C-alpha cells in the first residue's frame, strides 16, 4: 500500500495563528482512497528547513503532498524549494500566466507584477488548475515517487484536490473504498457506540461513531475489489442501522440538517419562513447556504428584542410576561406569527438563551425552544445543552430547528 506524507508550509502555522484544517481534510481523503498517511509535518517559510523537510519526506514516503507557500510574495518559496529538491526546474507557463491575468481582469483590479511569479510551474510536471485563485497546484512524478503542491487556502486546496489530485493519484489507490455517513440528531455518540458495539468491532465494513456539534454520526466504510461490491456491503450495514435507530436519522451523506431539509422542501413544493431570536439569523443563513434555496425561502425575521416579537410577529404581551421570551408558548406564537405574516407553508422559530452567562430571570444558557407551525401541525422542542457556549448553543439550536422540518416532512407528509 502506498505511503503518503502531508507537509504544511507556513510560519503562521508555527505561530499558532491558524488551525491546520488542510491536514485533517487530506488525511481523511487519503484514508478514503486506501493510501496510508504515516507522517504530518509543518515547517515555516524558511528555505533550509523546508528543503530538509521535503528531503526527509521524499525519503520515507511514496507521495508527498505540500500545502501553502504558493502565493506571490517573496516569502512564498514552496514551489522553488520543493521542485529543486525533487529535481524539477521551474519554467514560465504562458497558459497559466494568461489565466492569472484573466482572473484580475474579471475582478476589475490591476494585477500586481508579483503575481506572475505564480505562472512558474515545474517543467515536465502537471499544472493542476485552480479556478478559485491565482496559484495553480502542481504535480510531479519521478522514480515511482510523487510530489504534489497545493495552495494553502482551504477552499482552493480542496477544489484542486477533488478535481485534479484524486485522478492524478489513481495509480496509488488500492482496491475500492466506499464510505457513507449516517447522520443523526437527538442521540449521543456514546449511545451510538453502545447501540452498535457489535458493528464497531467489525473489520470490513468498519463502523465508527463521530461527534459533531450538537449531533453524532456513524461512518460506514467498506473495502472491496469493486466499488459496486463495496457499495453493497455498506448498504447492508446501513439497513441494520436504520432498523435500530431509524427515527434519529435525518439523512445519509448530508452535510448537515439544512442539506437534508432544503431538498426535501423542494421535493414537497413547500416554502418556509423563519423567526429567530437567539440564533440571530443563523437558521436563515444556513437555509440560504444551499444554492437554489430561493425556491423554498422568501422571508425571515430576526426579532432579537421583545417589542419586535410583538410588533412583527404578533406575539402577545401577556405570553411574554406570563411565560417569558424563552418559553414554549413564545416559540409557538413566533412560528405561527411568521407563517401568517409571510404566507409561507411552514413557520419555523427559535427563542432561547445562547449565553455566555445566565439571563436576568435565572434561566440557564443552553435553554432553547424551537417550534414549527404548518397546516394542521404544530410542534415545539425544548433543548437543554447544559453548555455556556454561545456558538455551540446557537449552532445546535439552528440544527434542531431545521431537523423539525425534516421530521415534519418525513412523518406527516411521508416525503
Q: Of 313-352, which residues contact a second copy (CB under 8 A)?
A: 342
- Identify which range of 37-45, 120-128, 166-174, 371-379 contacts a second copy by CB under 8 A: 37-45
CA torsion angle 118 123 128 134 (round to 10): 10
67 contributes a contact to a second copy by CB under 8 A? no
13 contributes a contact to a second copy by CB under 8 A? yes
Q: Give φ, ψ of 347 to 5 degrees.
A: -105, 135
Q: Residue 406 Cβ, how far from a second copy at the closest point, in Å?
A: 19
Q: Residue 291 Cβ, how far from a second copy at the closest point, in Å?
A: 6
Q: Residue 370 Cβ, how far from a second copy at the closest point, in Å?
A: 16
Q: What's the rounded Cα separation, in Å, for the pair 148 and 128?
A: 9
Q: What's the rounded Cα separation, in Å, for the pair 411 and 415?
A: 8
CA atoms within 13 A on the CB side of 398: 24
Nearer to a second copy, 126 or 206 (CB): 206
**Residues 6 or more apart from 149 whose CB is under 8 A from it?**
65, 66, 67, 70, 78, 79, 82, 137, 138, 139
With beta carbons less than 8 A apart as the criterion, state whether 300 and 312 touch: no
194 contributes a contact to a second copy by CB under 8 A? yes
**Residues 6 or more apart from 199 whose CB is under 8 A from it?**
207, 237, 240, 241
Nearest to 369 by CA among 359, 379, 360: 379
Nearer to a second copy, 189 or 229 (CB): 189
**Would you list the DSSP string of 102-123?**
HHHHHHT-PPPGGGGGGGEEET
103 contributes a contact to a second copy by CB under 8 A? yes
193 contributes a contact to a second copy by CB under 8 A? yes
Binds a second copy (CB under 8 A): choice among 2, 8, 82, 352: 8
**Would you list the DSSP string of 6-54?**
EEEE-HHHHTTSS--HHHHHHHHHHHHTT-EEEEEEEE-S-HHHHHHHH
Nearer to a second copy, 91 or 194 (CB): 194
Considering only residues 40 to 59 of the shown chain, the ones binding a second copy according to CB under 8 A are 40-44, 46, 49, 53, 56
392 contributes a contact to a second copy by CB under 8 A? yes
Q: What angle do CA 366, 217, 401 make, to 5 degrees?
A: 40
Considering only residues 287 to 316 of the shown chain, the ones binding a second copy according to CB under 8 A are 287-289, 291, 293-294, 297-305, 307-308, 312
Considering only residues 261 to 280 of the shown chain, the ones binding a second copy according to CB under 8 A are 274, 276, 278-280
- Identify which range of 86-94, 105-113, 242-250, 372-380 contacts a second copy by CB under 8 A: 105-113
Q: Residue 20 Cβ, how far from a second copy at the closest point, in Å?
A: 6
Q: Residue 11 Cβ, how far from a second copy at the closest point, in Å?
A: 7
Nearer to a second copy, 135 or 140 (CB): 135
Binds a second copy (CB under 8 A): choice among 59, 174, 190, 226: 190
Q: What's the rounded Cα separation, in Å, for the pair 401 and 348?
A: 7
Amino acid at each position: 500500500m502506498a505511503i503518503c506524507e502531508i507537509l504544511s508550509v507556513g510560519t503562521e502555522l508555527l505561530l499558532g495563528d491558524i488551525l491546520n484544517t488542510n491536514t485533517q481534510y487530506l488525511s481523511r481523503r487519503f484514508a478514503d482512497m486506501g493510501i496510508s498517511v504515516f507522517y504530518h509535518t509543518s515547517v515555516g517559510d524558511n528555505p533550509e528547513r523546508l528543503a530538509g523537510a521535503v528531503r526527509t519526506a521524499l525519503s520515507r514516503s511514496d507521495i508527498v503532498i505540500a500545502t501553502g507557500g504558493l502565493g506571490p510574495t517573496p516569502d512564498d518559496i514552496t514551489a522553488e524549494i520543493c521542485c529543486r529538491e525533487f529535481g524539477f526546474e521551474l519554467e514560465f507557463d504562458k497558459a497559466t500566466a494568461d489565466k492569472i491575468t484573466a482572473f484580475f481582469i474579471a475582478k476589475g483590479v490591476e494585477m500586481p507584477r508579483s503575481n506572475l511569479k505564480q505562472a512558474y510551474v515545474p517543467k515536465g510536471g502537471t499544472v493542476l488548475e485552480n479556478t478559485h485563485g491565482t496559484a495553480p497546484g502542481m504535480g510531479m512524478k519521478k522514480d515511482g515517487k510523487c510530489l504534489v503542491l497545493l495552495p494553502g487556502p482551504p477552499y482552493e486546496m480542496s477544489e484542486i484536490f477533488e478535481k485534479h489530485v484524486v485522478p492524478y493519484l489513481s495509480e496509488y489507490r488500492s482496491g475500492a473504498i466506499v464510505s457513507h455517513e449516517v447522520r443523526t440528531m437527538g442521540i449521543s455518540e456514546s449511545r451510538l457506540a453502545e447501540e452498535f458495539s457489535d458493528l464497531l468491532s467489525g473489520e470490513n465494513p468498519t463502523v465508527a461513531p463521530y461527534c459533531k456539534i450538537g449531533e453524532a454520526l456513524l461512518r460506514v466504510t467498506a473495502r472491496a475489489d469493486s466499488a459496486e461490491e463495496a457499495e453493497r456491503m455498506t448498504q447492508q450495514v446501513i439497513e441494520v442501522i436504520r432498523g435500530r435507530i431509524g427515527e434519529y436519522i435525518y439523512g445519509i451523506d448530508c452535510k448537515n440538517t439544512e442539506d437534508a431539509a432544503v431538498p426535501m422542501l423542494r421535493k414537497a413544493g413547500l416554502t418556509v419562513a423563519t423567526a429567530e431570536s437567539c440564533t440571530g439569523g443563523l437558521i436563515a443563513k444556513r437555509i440560504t447556504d444551499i444554492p437554489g434555496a430561493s425556491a423554498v425561502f422568501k422571508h425571515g425575521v430576526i426579532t432579537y428584542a421583545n417589542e419586535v416579537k410583538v410588533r412583527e410577529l404578533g406575539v402577545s404581551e401577556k405570553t411574554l410576561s406570563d411565560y417569558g421570551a424563552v418559553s414554549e408558548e413564545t416559540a409557538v406564537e413566533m412560528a405561527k406569527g411568521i407563517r401568517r405574516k409571510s404566507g409561507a407553508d411552514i413557520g419555523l422559530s427559535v427563542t432561547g438563551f445562547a449565553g455566555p452567562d445566565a439571563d436576568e430571570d435565572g434561566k440557564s444558557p443552553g435553554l432553547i425552544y424551537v417550534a414549527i407551525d404548518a397546516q394542521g401541525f404544530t410542534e415545539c422542542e425544548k433543548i437543554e445543552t447544559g453548555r455556556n457556549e454561545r456558538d455551540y448553543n446557537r449552532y445546535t439550536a439552528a440544527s434542531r430547528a431545521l431537523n423539525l422540518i425534516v421530521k415534519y416532512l418525513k412523518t406527516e407528509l411521508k416525503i
